[in-house]
């Protein structure tokens, strides 16, 4: 067997499924193949990602620093598509599969293997382009982006360069109330299709790394924003809105912890009033929206302080990493330029041609996107706090809409979902799709309380049973004999009993301690096993307590 030394990388013979193992020896990086069953490596734990921006105090120090400077922020977001197979071959991709088990000669770029475009990738790209208000290219093409890295088996990435599938769009979002609220609109430069690279698994000791090529060839959409953001909060909320959008469209699960949505931010600062941008720095390794916000704030502070010290020339175009433990950015490598990638048209793939009929068919199939849903909820009369909560998760929004379609009161439905239902989901760590409660039964529960069939307290008991075990509202009311007592005579008998058993408290009430009314009401509810109608109860109770002895 021969071995070839290429740029310090020694590759030993073709083996599709086992790990490739990179080791350092005498200052040279070597790559060898070891059997999966005989090689064991402990990888570093990855920090858990978060789906929402974490509320934090406003950075007054940063505000002071930015009195004389302005931050310019743009984001490149990679979205992994939820297709059954990869972009250019028939391999499945399942997150968490055994390393190097979902690969073939095509996604490994072996000699003689030719790519064939997955049509679902085009459909996803058109959906996202339309949802981002982009101009679609009826004719676009693929290009080869050349660079060498151990997890890029072909030595180049199939991407789109000068003619992407979508350009010149924008996205609308609403900032959470804790960040001042308000509407924001950010430009989208382009959306293009490309394939993913593999993944390197680094060991704690740093003696070697393993290569998992399962992800090589997985379809991605890259969304490049205009440099329209000015703070870490705006950038983080932009990323969160993109996540909502791809989930609403069904083109990706958007899970940051799985690498299905990855954001690289570009930051520069300039003196206020200056037209030219400052030197751009890219930050990678951002695995949560809160990390995006914190990394940007740190980098803005770093660059402004260098400017203030007369060291602005030390800001160079480079790629930096965010170290979450140290809460700082560190240099990774100098940034490549376009010339370094040596783009040229992909010779093995034809041009992508779209018809206007195809685009309109997809436009007609688009669901209501987050921005439109928020505006509809606002027009219905919901508060912005309610709107942001309900529209944040596509499944919660669908549940809410389905409940309203059954005739439920809008505000009551929102309150139940945002209150008790949300609390249960948070405590049990489940999604709304995993609970037993259905929109039909929530609507029935709300109606039963509103019409006085059951009390609100009993409604809560029924709700938790419905969430955990399922069933019907009518069935549980009948089974547990929970129908609310509304007969005034029956309630009056209970009140008389409670008052006769508590003469001392009655005397205290009539002596001025009117807060004891709650005590008496509680005792009557206890006597009725929670079934007494609160309105009837309190009316008769007050009449009895305030009557002259």
Q: Which residue has the higher pLDDT, 541 or 8?
A: 541
Q: Are 402 and 416 in contact (CB under 8 A)?
A: no
Which DSSP helix (H) or strand (E) runs through 546?
Answer: helix 534-546
Kindly report, residue by residue over 481-540, the tens digit of the pLDDT. Answer: 778 787 888 889 999 999 999 999 988 898 888 888 899 989 998 888 888 888 888 889
d(CA 169, CA 187): 6
**Which of 107, 80, 69, 79 lies closest to 91 in space, CA to CA?**
107
Task: Of 454, 407, 438, 474, give the one whose Cα is nearest residue 417.
Answer: 438
What percentage of the chain reaches a pLDDT higher than 90? 62
Q: What tokens does 345 get?
A: 């048209």
Instruction: Yes or no: say if 71 and 235 are a contact pair by the CB < 8 Å rule.
Output: no
The whole-angstrom separation of Cα 509 and Cα 321 is: 68
Residue 34 has pLDDT above 90, yes or no: no
The DSSP-derived string for 50-67 is -SSPPP----HHHHHHTT
Nearest to 230 by CA among 52, 63, 50, 371: 63
Domain with CATH 1.10.10.410 in the chain: 488-547
Nearest to 509 by CA among 539, 549, 477, 476: 549
Of 30-34, 56-60, 478-482, the poorest mean pLDDT is in 30-34
Interacting residues of 94 by C-beta distance below 8 A, sequence separation 6+: 102
Instruction: Among 38-47, 52-61, 173-182, 383-392, name the one with the lowest average pLDDT.
Output: 38-47
Q: Which pLDDT tens digit goes with each residue over 264-280?
A: 999 999 999 899 999 99
pLDDT in tens, 400-413: 999 999 999 999 99
Q: Which residues contact 227 (CB under 8 A, 6 or more apart)?
A: 72, 73, 74, 266, 277
3-state secondary structure of 545: helix
The rounded distance, in Å, linking the Cα atoms of 157 and 78 is 14
pLDDT of residue 14: 33
User: What is the pLDDT, as a whole number, of residue 59?
Assistant: 63
Distance of CA 267 to the CA centre of its chain: 22
Q: Which of 193, 126, 64 is nearest to 360 (CA)?
A: 126
Tokens of 330: 């560190």
pTM, two decimals, is 0.80
Sign of CA dihedral 278, 283, 288, 294: negative
Give the pLDDT confidence score for residue 65 in this predicted structure: 76
Shortest CA distance to 295 belongs to which of 237, 239, 233?
233
Mean local confidence (pLDDT), 164-182: 92
Q: At 149, phi and psi to the nearest 5?
A: -160, 145
How many other CB atoms are found less than 10 A from the CB of residue 269? 28
Contact by Cβ (8 Å): 78, 225? no
Provide the token pair at 78: 């990679």
Nearest residue to 19 (alpha-carbon basis) of 207, 260, 199, 219: 199
Contact status, residue 521 vs residue 538, Cβ threshold 8 Å: yes
Q: For 466-478, how does the pLDDT look when each residue is reduced to its tens digit (9 = 90+)?
A: 999 999 999 998 8
- Alpha helices, H only, 318-421: 338-341, 356-365, 370-380, 384-392, 394-405, 410-416
Top-confidence residue, 42 or 543: 543
Please report which confidence band the pLDDT of residue 8 belongs to, taking 50, 70 and 90 as the band edges: very low
Pair of tokens at residue 488: 């005034």
Q: Which residues pair with 92 in a beta bridge?
A: 85
- Topology given in CATH for the domain delimited by 488-547: Arc Repressor Mutant, subunit A (1.10.10)
Say what the pLDDT of residue 546 is: 86
Cα 212 from Cα 99, distance rounded (Å): 5
Residue 241 near residue 393 (C-beta atoms within 8 A): no
């Amino acid at each position: 067997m021969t071995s070839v030394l290429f740029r310090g990388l020694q590759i030993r013979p073709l083996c599709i499924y086992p790990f490739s193992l990179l080791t350092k020896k005498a200052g040279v990086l070597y790559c060898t193949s070891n059997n999966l069953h005989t090689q064991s490596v402990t990888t570093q734990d990855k920090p858990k990602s978060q789906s929402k921006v974490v509320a934090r105090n406003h950075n007054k120090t940063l505000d002071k620093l930015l009195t004389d400077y302005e931050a310019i922020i743009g984001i490149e977001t990679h979205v992994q598509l939820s297709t059954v197979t990869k972009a250019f071959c028939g391999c499945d991709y399942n997150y968490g599969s055994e390393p190097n088990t979902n690969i073939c000669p095509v996604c490994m770029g072996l000699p003689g293997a030719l790519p064939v475009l997955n049509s679902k990738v085009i459909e996803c790209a058109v959906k996202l382009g339309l949802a981002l208000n982009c101009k679609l290219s009826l004719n676009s093409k693929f290009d080869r982006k050349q660079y060498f890295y151990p997890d890029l088996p072909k030595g180049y990435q199939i991407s789109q360069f000068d003619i992407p599938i979508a350009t010149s769009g924008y996205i609308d979002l609403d900032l959470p109330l804790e960040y001042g609220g308000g509407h924001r609109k950010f430009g989208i430069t382009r959306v293009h299709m490309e394939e993913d690279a593999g993944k390197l698994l680094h060991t704690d000791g740093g003696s070697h790394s393993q290569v998992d090529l399962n992800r090589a060839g997985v379809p991605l959409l890259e969304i490049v924003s205009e440099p329209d953001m000015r703070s870490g909060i705006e950038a983080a909320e932009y990323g969160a809105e993109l996540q909502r959008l791809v989930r609403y469209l069904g083109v990706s699960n958007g899970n940051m912890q799985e690498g299905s949505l990855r954001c690289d931010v570009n930051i520069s600062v300039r003196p206020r009033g200056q037209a030219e941008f400052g030197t751009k720095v890219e930050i990678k390794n951002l695995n949560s929206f809160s990390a995006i916000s914190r990394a940007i704030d740190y980098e803005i502070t770093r660059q402004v302080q260098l400017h203030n010290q007369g060291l602005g020339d030390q800001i160079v175009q480079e790629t930096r990493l965010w170290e979450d433990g140290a809460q700082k950015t560190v240099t990774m490598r100098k940034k490549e330029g376009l010339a370094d990638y040596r783009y040229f048209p992909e010779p093995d793939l034809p041009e992508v041609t779209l018809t206007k009929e195809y685009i309109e068919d997809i436009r007609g199939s688009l669901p209501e996107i987050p921005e439109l849903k928020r505006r509809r909820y606002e027009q219905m009369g919901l508060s912005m706090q309610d709107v942001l909560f309900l529209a944040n998760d596509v499944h919660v929004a669908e549940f809410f809409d389905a409940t309203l379609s059954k005739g439920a009161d809008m505000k009551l439905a929102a309150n139940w979902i945002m209150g008790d239902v949300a609390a249960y989901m948070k405590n049990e760590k489940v999604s709304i799709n995993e609970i037993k409660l259905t929109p039909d039964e929530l609507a029935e529960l709300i109606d039963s309380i509103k019409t006085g069939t059951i009390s609100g307290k009993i409604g809560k008991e029924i709700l938790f049973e419905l969430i955990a075990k399922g069933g019907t509202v009518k069935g549980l009311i009948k089974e547990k004999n929970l129908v609310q007592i509304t007969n005034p005579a029956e309630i009056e008998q209970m009140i008389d009993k409670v008052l006769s058993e508590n003469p001392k408290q009655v005397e205290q009430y009539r002596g001025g301690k009117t807060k004891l009314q709650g005590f008496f009401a509680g005792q009557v509810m206890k006597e009725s096993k929670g079934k007494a109608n609160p309105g009837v109860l309190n009316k008769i109770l007050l009449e009895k307590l305030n009557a002259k002895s």
